[in-house]
Chains A and B, each alone.
Chain A
Amino acid sequence: MNWGSAGEFFAMGGKGLYVWGSYAVTFLCIAIELASLNLRRRAAGKKP
């Protein structure tokens, strides 16, 4: 275990902005792709 407390975990040794900025944008991208796939699937499923 690397972290003494939750605060230490989120601080990432002072590099929190860079580390969490990377992961937040990654998961945001994935969420947007999945949501847009869901919308596209619904639209494609509608009768012409």
Chain B
Amino acid sequence: MSSATPQTASGGINWFKYSSPQTFFPLAGTLAPWFAAIAAVLFVAGLYIGFFVAPTDAQQGESYRIIFIHVPAAWMSMLIYLAMAFWAGMGLAFNTRLSGMMATALAPTGALFTFIALWTGALWGKPTWGTWWVWDARLTSELLLLFLYFGFMALQAAMDDPRRADKAGAVLALVGVINIPIIYFSVKWWNTLHQGASVSLKSAPTMAATMFTGMIVMVFACWAYAIAAALWRVRCIILERERRSEWVADYLETQK
């Protein structure tokens, strides 16, 4: 919406101003280090709680400590997909350049968290279920999510025109959204090996509190990390796509 007439949101801040890559670029550059710093602090705090404050699980012993990365990563894998599909949809609906760039910027980080969720799940499954992998609904739909991210990235990489790549990727991303509720509700809809609530949160309240706190702190750490990574990546994408524009040339000149 870079060429649209200026519009002012009710709050008095002109949010549409930031929908242009040129104005979003410095904003992303200012915000990213802050989110990275928040992520670093929360990772340290969450891991400290997870390993030194949260007690040993009565049923699973120490292997349950994988939860502090597995559950946040699995939530992020779905949340980032929804964010990616949202921006892709905004790009299709309003033809805004930055929206497509945001969707493209989120995909690798979403794939990363999906891979981490699958990897830690396998390493948790082996000591808990006795197997690295089963083709049950939860695990298979999460694997499909990884392939959706890969498909989105491969499709965009295969197209030379970024605007066409945005549109094609957006269609794929929006069709793939159907997989998110399937992942989320798979443990309810089908009889799966994957447990619903793995940590017995209700059995011992004090114990549940520290485990839960550690997990939630790690969730926010992953949120902050994903935002920082996406902002840094969208800056790369803006520079790559707008490299022929005057403001990028001016900006790069100041970086010398």
Q: Is the CB of A2 within 8 A of B63?
A: no
In the bound assembly, the distance between CA atoms of A26 and B115 in angstroms comes to 9
Partner of A12, one of B65, B124, B243: B65
Q: Is the CB of A13 within 8 A of B61?
A: yes
Beta-carbon contacts of B239-256 to A below 8 Å, as 1s and 0s?
110011000000010010
Partner of B233, one of A1, A13, A21, A37: A37
The answer to whether A19 and B243 touch (CB under 8 A), given A2-B55, A26-B73, is: no
B144 within 8 Å of A (CB atoms): no
B199 within 8 Å of A (CB atoms): no
In the bound assembly, the distance between CA atoms of A22 and B55 in angstroms comes to 19
Size of interface on B: residues with Cβ below 8 Å to A: 36
In the bound assembly, the distance between CA atoms of A45 and B235 in angstroms comes to 10
The answer to whether A1 and B235 touch (CB under 8 A), given A12-B65, A15-B61, A22-B66, is: no
B188 within 8 Å of A (CB atoms): no
The answer to whether A40 and B65 touch (CB under 8 A), given A15-B127, A22-B119, is: no
Query: In angstroms, how far is the closest chain B Cβ from the Cβ of A48?
Result: 6
Beta-carbon contacts of B206-231 to A below 8 Å, as 1s and 0s?
00000000000000000001000100
The answer to whether A19 and B56 touch (CB under 8 A), given A26-B116, A41-B232, A45-B252, is: no
Partner of A29, one of B112, B232, B243: B112
Beta-carbon contacts of A1-42 to B below 8 Å, as 1s and 0s?
111000001001111011101110110011001100100110
In the bound assembly, the distance between CA atoms of A46 and B244 in angstroms comes to 12
Majority-rule SS of A interface residues: helix
Query: In angstroms, how far is the closest chain B Cβ from the Cβ of A33?
Result: 6
The answer to whether A12 and B235 touch (CB under 8 A), given A18-B127, A29-B116, is: no
Q: Which residues of B contact A14 (CB under 8 A)?
A: 61-62
Interface size class of A (residues with CB under 8 A): 20 to 34
The answer to whether A25 and B240 touch (CB under 8 A), given A18-B127, A41-B235, is: no
Q: Is the CB of A33 within 8 A of B236?
A: no
B135 within 8 Å of A (CB atoms): no
Q: List 20 A-B contacts (CB under 8 A).
A: A1-B52, A2-B56, A3-B52, A13-B56, A13-B61, A14-B62, A18-B127, A19-B62, A19-B66, A22-B66, A22-B124, A25-B119, A26-B116, A26-B119, A37-B236, A41-B236, A41-B239, A44-B236, A44-B239, A45-B255
